[in-house]
A and B are shown apart, each in its own frame.
Chain A
Amino acid sequence: MATSIKDLPRDEVVMKGHGACAGCPSTLALRIAGKAFGPNAVCVMTPSCTVASLGLIPKAAYDYPILNVCFATAGSSASGIVYAYESLYKKGKLTGEMPTVFTWIGDGGTYDIGLQAISAAAERNDNYIFICYNNEAYSNTGVQRSGATPKFAATTTTPQGKMEDKKNMPLLMLDHQIPYLATASLAYPTDFYDKLVKAKNTRGFKYIEVFAPCCTGWKFPSSDMIRISRMAVTSGAWLLYEAENGKIKFNGPTAKIMEGKVELSPLEDYFSCQGRFASINRAANKEEIIAEAKNKILADIEFMKKRAAF
């Protein structure tokens, strides 16, 4: 049964007064992750907004032992921690419940720079949770394009809009045949929480990707962060699903979209409220561009339907 908001635990991992932007999605996601994992957890972070704005000295804004490692090594560093723990527990030097090891990596450290280490860790089936918060750009260094940036989105390195489609990283991880994989959205916090708890209770390599609309990078008012998360799901730009041992199950609004019970919400609305798609709104062939983006989404949905039935 799904958890309700009132059942969410009281634990707060993110301290008040951290240095992140107003309306930052990564801190909200980390708050929910903290509620799911409880105090007995260890985190690995690579350079990202979360480290730069929360991991300050002399005061840190998160209540976890956190190892800040170099960009490409998120997967392998967490593997090392897990092996060390398992060995210490085996020798009897540590007792009690083993801490949950998880990584907190942006899309740059997952899609581009850290891909090799994640792939290797997934292949070894190391017992930790890999969490990627996907804000679709290198937001920390000033919004450069990444492998997760969708087509037509403007960044500082693609000022006219990106020309290429984004990678489908969750699908890539699914084909590593890992025990648990999930995609989540901040507009559905209880769904995200349930997926984190499920990942915590599964043994082996777990991959969770949460969609995090960055108000600074995507150029929209900070108050619209949750609204845009929701619009991404209802317009089909972001699909919510989980896969236990490769068996895909769709969640929330995506399940209704897949069953054909609900129509996709207009993609124009999703594009028009974000400054990064401003070039589309100004373009003479606006309809053509939106139709192309819409066709891509419909093709993705068709593909996922077949992939789930497979």
Chain B
Amino acid sequence: MANKIYDEKYPVSYPMHGAGGKTGDWRLLTPRIDREKCSKCMLCWVYCPDAVIDRETLEIDYEYCKGCGICARECPRKAIVMIREEE
């Protein structure tokens, strides 16, 4: 479903990643997961409004993560920290 190309004939919209562009550019603070502290409770996955955290590996897709910080705030073990990204 997510790989249909743009229809030239009709104004039809298809579900695709990146409808709002590469939203990772919006980010001011970047979440980093400390794997040693992580207990895989998956709270970060369920609370992510952008669905950028992978369910299996809990890998964050930095291309689209907007850096809202909910995962870091809600992590019960404080395994996610928000850091300022260097250019």
Give the interface of A toward B (CB within 8 A).
5-6, 8, 10, 12, 14-25, 27-28, 31-32, 53-63, 186, 189, 215, 221-227
Residues in A with CB closer than 8 Å to B27 are: 22
B73 touching A189, Cβ below 8 Å: no
Residues in B with CB closer than 8 Å to A21 are: 66
B19 touching A18, Cβ below 8 Å: yes
Assuming the contacts A16-B17, A225-B70, asked whether A22 and B26 have C-beta atoms less than 8 A apart, the reply is yes
- Selected from A14, A56, A226, the residue in CB contact (under 8 A) with B70 is A226
Query: Considering the chains assembled together, what is the distance between the CA atoms of A221 and B71 in angstroms?
Result: 13
Give the interface SS of chain B, mostly helix, strand, loop or mixed.
loop
Assuming the contacts A60-B13, A189-B46, asked whether A15 and B51 have C-beta atoms less than 8 A apart, the reply is yes
Interface residue tally of chain B, by bracket?
A: 35 or more
Query: Considering the chains assembled together, what is the distance between the CA atoms of A22 and B21 in angstroms?
Result: 14
Give the interface of B toward A (CB within 8 A).
1-2, 6-7, 11, 13-23, 26-27, 41-43, 45-52, 55, 61, 63-64, 66-70, 72-74, 82
- Selected from B20, B61, B70, the residue in CB contact (under 8 A) with A61 is B20
Residues in A with CB closer than 8 Å to B41 are: 5
Residue of B nearest to A8 (CB): B46
Query: Considering the chains assembled together, what is the distance between the CA atoms of A54 and B23 in angstroms?
Result: 13
Query: Considering the chains assembled together, what is the distance between the CA atoms of A54 and B49 in angstroms?
Result: 12
A17 touching B17, Cβ below 8 Å: yes
Query: Considering the chains assembled together, what is the distance between the CA atoms of A41 and B19 in angstroms?
Result: 21
A223 touching B20, Cβ below 8 Å: no
Residues in B with CB closer than 8 Å to A57 are: 11, 13
Q: List 8 A-B contacts (CB under 8 A).
A: A15-B18, A17-B22, A19-B21, A55-B13, A58-B14, A59-B14, A59-B18, A222-B70
- Selected from A6, A54, A215, the residue in CB contact (under 8 A) with B42 is A6
- Selected from A6, A19, A61, A186, the residue in CB contact (under 8 A) with B15 is A61
Residue of A nearest to B67 (CB): A22
Residue of B nearest to A64 (CB): B15
Assuming the contacts A58-B13, A225-B68, A227-B73, asked whether A5 and B19 have C-beta atoms less than 8 A apart, the reply is no
